[in-house]
């Protein structure tokens, strides 16, 4: 047999996958906002601000060069999937994108969620997962050897959205303590509302919940707020809160969560934030929305400097950059 003298392509002695920083998030699944406290939030927000400054100055870096992220979305997504992909690529990493319809993967052949995760961990260092069933991401994490980040599990939680929402509030208004925050829309099904509400329990805030009676905040969350002594009030009219709040967090009525279309039709146009509504708001306040919107904020409001929802979108990339770097031990 011919003895081929192949060139030595890699000097393994000089190559290392050791983390630069073994912070509290290193190799951890990110499943719920319950994992965060004020100290860990401050850490992520500091890193996110650094990411913002880096992107604004040089565009990208090679912090995660050699790492691969799998993005797996069983439900539609624009901002979450795109921002995770952009975050990984801005940090010099690679992405396996399964975001344009799970029907084009082996799931359409009957492959289980667990088998899909175990397969993708063979190619990646972390997995971002969105799934329509509450608790599905936590289930997948039990079987995966690489960290899994929850990008939304049905009407359950959306932890990274809550992180970027809180980061946006702090960036826009300077602090979080002392604020009065109103959440408007589908509070029963809105996982972004659920996660943000949980995070805000760590701060000295007043909360106002504005929704139709059929879409009120889940009772367990309301009881948690009351038990913690948070100042909370409920109403079904934006006019009751618009003059006093520092943050108006608007959400869409989620058609896909309704089993009876007639129930959706009855509430779909319940709220609309217009320039006329905003005329009664504070001069210094912000309007936020996790997006997409379907009519609950008029397009004319976009020109209002208090409209922060597209700045919120960009902040999502910075926060997810910080989180990916932390989970992979590079921040």
Is the backbone peptide bond immediately before 168 cis, with ω within 30 degrees of 0?
no
CA distance linking residue 243 with residue 235, whole number of Å: 14
Active site residue 233: no
> Within 10 Å of residue 173's Cβ, how many Cβ atoms?
16
CA distance linking residue 299 with residue 128, whole number of Å: 31
Catalytic residue, candidates 80, 99, 116, 192:
80
Which DSSP symbol is given to 328? Answer: T
220 Cβ neighbours under 8 A, 6+ residues apart = none
Active site residue 311: no
Catalytic residue, candidates 79, 216, 282, 298:
79
Q: Which residue has the tokens 């979108």?
A: 313
3 state SS of 329: coil
Which alpha helices (DSSP H) does 174-216 contain, by range?
191-200
Catalytic residue, candidates 47, 90, 131, 158:
158
Cβ(304)–Cβ(278) under 8 Å? yes
3 state SS of 47: helix
Tell me which H or E stretch contains 19: none
CA distance linking residue 88 with residue 297, whole number of Å: 31
Active site residue 109: yes
Active site residue 257: no
Active site residue 158: yes
Catalytic residue, candidates 17, 57, 109, 303:
109
Catalytic residue, candidates 47, 90, 130, 320:
130
- Calculate the alpha carbon distances from 117 to 88, 100, 197 in Å: 19, 17, 30
Residues annotated as catalytic (active site), given as ranges: 79-80, 109, 130, 158
């Amino acid at each position: 047999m011919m003895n081929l003298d192949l060139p030595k392509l890699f000097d393994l002695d000089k190559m290392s996958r050791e983390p630069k920083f073994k912070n509290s998030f290193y190799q951890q699944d990110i499943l719920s906002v319950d994992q965060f406290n004020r100290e860990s939030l401050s850490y992520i927000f500091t890193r996110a601000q650094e990411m913002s400054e880096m992107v604004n100055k040089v565009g990208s870096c090679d912090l995660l060069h050699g790492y691969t992220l799998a993005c797996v979305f069983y439900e539609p997504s624009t901002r979450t999937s795109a921002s995770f992909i952009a975050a990984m690529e801005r940090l010099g990493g690679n992405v396996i994108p399964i975001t344009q319809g799970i029907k084009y993967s082996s799931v359409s052949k009957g492959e289980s969620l667990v088998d899909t995760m175990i397969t993708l961990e063979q190619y990646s260092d972390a997995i971002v997962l969105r799934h329509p069933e509450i608790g599905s991401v936590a289930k997948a994490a039990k079987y995966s050897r690489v960290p899994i980040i929850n990008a939304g599990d049905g009407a359950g939680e959306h932890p990274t959205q809550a992180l970027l929402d809180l980061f946006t509030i702090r960036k826009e208004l300077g602090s979080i303590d002392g604020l009065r925050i109103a959440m408007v829309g589908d509070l029963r099904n809105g996982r972004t509302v659920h996660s943000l509400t949980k995070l805000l329990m760590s701060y000295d805030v007043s909360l106002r919940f504005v929704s139709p009676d059929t879409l009120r905040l889940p009772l367990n969350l309301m009881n948690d707020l009351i038990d913690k002594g948070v100042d909370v009030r409920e109403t079904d009219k934006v006019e009751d809160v618009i003059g006093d709040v520092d943050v108006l967090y608007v959400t869409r009525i989620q058609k896909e969560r309704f089993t009876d279309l007639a129930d959706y039709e009855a509430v779909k146009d319940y709220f609309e934030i217009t320039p006329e509504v905003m005329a009664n708001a504070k001069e210094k306040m912000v309007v936020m929305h996790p997006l997409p919107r379907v009519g609950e904020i008029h397009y004319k409001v976009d020109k209002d400097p208090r409209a922060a929802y597209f700045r919120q979108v960009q902040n999502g990339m910075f926060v997810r950059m910080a989180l990916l770097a932390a989970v992979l031990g590079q921040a």
